[in-house]
Amino acid sequence: MIQRNVLNSDRHIVLMKYSSWFAGLDGVDSILISNGGENAIDKAFFYATGADEGIFEGSSVIVTPDSERARMYVYTLEEQSARKTSHDVIPAGSQAQMKENISRALKDKKRVGINFSSMTLEMYNDLRSVLPDTQFVDVSGNILNSRMIKTDDEIKRLREAARISSEALPSIIEHFKEGMTEKELAADIVYEMMKAGADGPSFESIVCFGSNASIPHHLPESRKLKRGDFVLMDYGAVYRRYCSDNTRTVVFGKAEEKQKEIYSIVYEAQKKAMDMIRDGVNGRDVNSKALEVIDDTEYRGKLMHGIGHGIGLEVHDHHALGSSDFTLRKGMAITDEPGIYIPGYGGVRIEDDLIVKEDGFSLITNQPSKDLIEVS
């Protein structure tokens, strides 16, 4: 029986997921997903296994199209975590034993699928030495396509991650005080999300005071907060490996009319774009709608990025709303995040997370007030 912490608790869904990875792959009846060191962990490993804990450096998983159970090849360090899943676990006490286990499992396979998009050259060469007579076939596209459409269990995790990050805002704002630094507020954001049940932040929080809010990917520094500053906060929570990603922009003190105007334009751009989201719509057209709203104002050209992306096991799970063709499909989890950025002055970005539905969308973050929040 598939246990509750396996990503898809319904046996039929598990089989459908694995079998979809093999679509169009002649002669491939095994797929190997491999992890390298801590900076080369393949999220597809956790997609295949549903493991809630563990890092699994150097571990691998083998799946076949007709099995609901994968085979997890792990070091003894991760054996307890692996056995909390319902999958078969083959532990190894050394690198040599790990290689022998993988070789034994796949030595008779002529063609094996691997996820090229997450494999370093070093990992590939190492695998070639273990299986010198095997032809490796890239299955990264099939896995990505499968990951784009979220299961009910994935959506539950995404909803919880979004709830944690969006509902943390009132508590985060309580930390505001004149003279605090961007770094201090960034630490407070993580603290409040962890207190609310997050397993951790989904990425390094972006915190911008004043004119720094004109830098879309500004990293927190020692700039101090003062009255009248924009405060742009882009942050997210991880819950059972699934990520949220939301951005809120407020003003510390009383906002001037220009700040209110910029905020209202960004809010309108987000709403107009969001109203277009549904199954079958081209994400490029949604992106164009937000650009149209902004470019019809004096702030033409001040939005220089696509307005949304997929979320899931990764905070940037796949493309969604940008300049290229991309068809939205029911069950996708995406963001909607237009912005206006004015060098030397500041900027506004508003970002929410949502699930694409057949006839629209389900908002899973708490959308902010239409009016710019002034924090006293």
Residue appearing with tokens 């909390």 = 84
CB neighbour burial string for 3-28, b if at least 16 within 10 angstroms, e if fewer: eebbbbbeeebbeebbeebbeebeeb
What pLDDT, in 10s, does the model give residues 175-216? 999 999 999 999 999 999 999 999 999 999 999 999 999 999
Count other Cβ atoms within 10 Å, centred on residue 165.
Answer: 30
Please give the domain boundaries of the chain with CATH numbers for all domains.
11-148 (3.40.350.10), 152-375 (3.90.230.10)
Is the overall model pTM greater than 0.75, yes or no? yes
Indicate the DSSP class of residue 66. Answer: T
- Three-state secondary structure of 237-263: EEECCEECCEEEEEEECCCCHHHHHHH
Question: What pLDDT score does 11 carry?
Answer: 44
- Segments in the chain below pLDDT 50: 1-15
Question: What pLDDT score does 68 carry?
Answer: 79
Question: What pLDDT score does 66 carry?
Answer: 82
Indicate the DSSP class of residue 38. Answer: G
- Torsion-angle region of 332 (φ positive above 0: left; ψ -120 to 50: alpha; else: beta): beta
Question: What pLDDT score does 337 carry?
Answer: 98
Question: What pLDDT score does 16 carry?
Answer: 57
* Token code pair at residue 10: 């319904």
Calculated CA dihedral for residues 20, 22, 24, 28, nearest 10 degrees: -170
